[in-house]
Amino acid sequence: MQTELIIFDCDGVLIDSEIISATTLIEMLKPLGMKIDIAFVQRHFLGRSFPTVAEHLRNEFSMDLPADFEATYRSRLLGDFEIELRPTPGVQHVLATIGLPICVATSSSPERVARSLEITQLADFFNGSVYTASMVKRGKPAPDLFLHVAEEMRTAPSKCLVIEDSQPGVEAALAAKMQVARYLGGSHFNGVAEQAAKNTHPVPVFDSWAKFLDMFPQALGKI
């Protein structure tokens, strides 16, 4: 199938951030009596926007988060990112080698994705082509963000290839009638990647950027 645009999710795809985000959230929820673990985050929060996470916590624990929780969480997380955040292994080579237009579509806030790409020195690859869930009414797994990206980038949805790590992201891309592959190379999949791969259907799965160009040679822009 012809590909004219590659759309990358950010967290867990371009940057190895999900384990940091999960750990920070878990620690901040403990004093509130909301005890969750990494597995809980993997099941319910990967690929979701913060309002969706907050709603799930409200339903799970029958209590609201403090009014300043989101702002405090985002501030603390960015502080942790400054120290710990890294790009996923090998992604820089792939971004430098791709011969097609690329962009980012993420559930993260505009401020968080901008700083994340700066910290990991990936921002220049995208030349400002970064889109967030704040731009649309419904976040993933709804197709809204991906359809918005296709429109902005003037590309037919069927000619877009989406790279996601989360199941909601995969579902959103499929709902948008786009090509999609699931990347399972982030550290948040350590020990569970095999099971996640089994649960991912009907899209291709890969766990190393070294495999990406072999799987999708059209990304070189020469086919």
Tell me the pTM.
Answer: 0.88
CB-side neighbour CA atoms (13 Å) of 93: 9
CA distances from 153 to 101, 125, 146, 198 (A): 9, 15, 10, 33
Q: For residue range 53-91, what is the model confidence (pLDDT) as tens digits? A: 999 999 999 999 999 999 999 999 999 999 999 999 999
Of 79, 94, 86, the C-alpha closest to 19 is: 86
Which stretches in the chain have pLDDT values below 50?
Answer: 223
Q: For residue range 176-189, what is the model confidence (pLDDT) as tens digits? A: 999 999 999 998 88
Give residue 223's pLDDT.
Answer: 47
**Helix and strand totals (H; E) in the chain:** 10, 6
Give residue 222's pLDDT.
Answer: 59
Residue 135 in tokens? 């731009």
Domain positions in the chain are: 5-16+85-220, 18-84
Give residue 93's pLDDT.
Answer: 97
Architecture of domain 5-16+85-220: 3-Layer(aba) Sandwich (3.40)
* CATH superfamily for domain 18-84: Putative phosphatase; domain 2 (1.10.150.240)
